[in-house]
Amino acid sequence: MIYLANSVSIEAVKEAKQSSKDRKFQESIEMAVNLKEVDLSDPKNRLNEEIMLPKGRGRKYKVAVIGTEEMRDKGKDLADYMYGPEDVTKFADDKKDFKKLANDVDFFVAEATLMATIGKSLGQVLGPRGKMPRPLPPGQDPSPLIANLKQTVRARSKDKKTLHVPVGTKDMSDEDLAENVDAVITRLAGKLEKGYNNIDSVYVKTTMGKAVRLKMEEYK
């Protein structure tokens, strides 16, 4: 896909990186998207998007698989955690421990036949976090989905008009980060009733740096 104003986002990314001091850790590059003229008190207007970044996230993100031995065996090279059907019962009996896992894992993948049990036993933990598992047919190789999820970010508005979305790390090139930024903007605009006109402003920043505003008029 060719994005509309790559040069605009390159300029913002470059300024955000240059204005950030060197840190002893690898800073993330984050976006803040402010919406307007959207009634977020109505749940159907809220955004809850999973967006695959064309240039990846710049760091390792964790995926857990819940499935039979056959599915776990196929996904063992890419998954970070592997659990069987019996583990769902253990998690249900120790919600406190499972909450720690749910906070550590970015995405869950589960065999479709287990989804009803997972929803009933663990839905109250996973649902509010937006981490209900992606279902797969019994025995299917989860590796392609895991690979995609490791490059995926969530954009959730809930009832707030500001969304915060990570788009990479400071060591990535300006061009790659800009392409990720544009991918997020394009996807969100496509989901909003008035498109880009429902986006009030967009800022880019490093984890501890100052926010730099994109020239959104260039996108419209």
Contact present, 194 and 45 (Cβ < 8 Å): no
Q: Does 2 score more than 50 pLDDT?
A: no
Of 98, 133, 149, which one is at a domain's C-terminal end?
Answer: 149
Residue 116 has a pLDDT of 96
Q: Does 1 score more than 90 pLDDT?
A: no
Residue 178 has a pLDDT of 94
Cα 79 from chain centroid (whole Å): 17
Question: In the 3-class helix/strand/coil scheme, how is the chain assigned residue by residue?
Answer: CCCCCHHHHHHHHHHHHHCCCCCCCCCEEEEEEEECCCCCCCHHHCCEEEEECCCCCCCCCCEEEECCHHHHHHHCCCCCEEECHHHHHHHHHCHHHHHHHHHHCCEEEEEHHHHHHHHHHHHHHHCCCCCCCEEECCCCCCHHHHHHHCCEEEEECCCCCEEEEEEEECCCCHHHHHHHHHHHHHHHHHHCCCHHHHEEEEEEEECCCCCEECCHHHCC
In a domain, 1, yes or no: no
Domain identity same for 71 and 108: yes
Residue 211 has a pLDDT of 93
CATH number reported for the structural domain that contains residue 10 in this entry: 3.30.190.20
β-bridge partners, 52: 152
Residue 6 has a pLDDT of 65
Q: Does 138 score more than 50 pLDDT?
A: yes
Mean of all residue pLDDT scores within the chain: 90
In a domain, 122, yes or no: yes
Domain identity same for 107 and 142: yes
User: What is the tens place of the pLDDT at every residue in 46-105?
Assistant: 998 989 999 988 877 899 999 999 999 999 999 999 999 999 999 999 999 999 999 999
Domain identity same for 127 and 76: yes
User: What is the tens place of the pLDDT at every residue in 186-199?
Assistant: 999 999 999 999 99
How far, in Å, CA of 182 to CA of 186, rounded? 6
Full residue range of the structural domain in which residue 212 is found:
6-55+153-218
Residues 196-205: what's their mean pLDDT? Answer: 94
Q: Does 139 score more than 90 pLDDT?
A: no
| Higher pLDDT among residues 220 and 142, named by residue | 142
Q: Does 201 score more than 90 pLDDT?
A: yes
Domain identity same for 49 and 67: no
96, HSE (Cβ side, Cα atoms, 13 Å):
0
pLDDT tier for residue 220 given thresholds of 50, 70 and 90: low
Domain identity same for 141 and 164: no
The pair of structure tokens assigned to 10 is: 């390159």
Looking at the structure of the chain, the number of domains it has is: 2
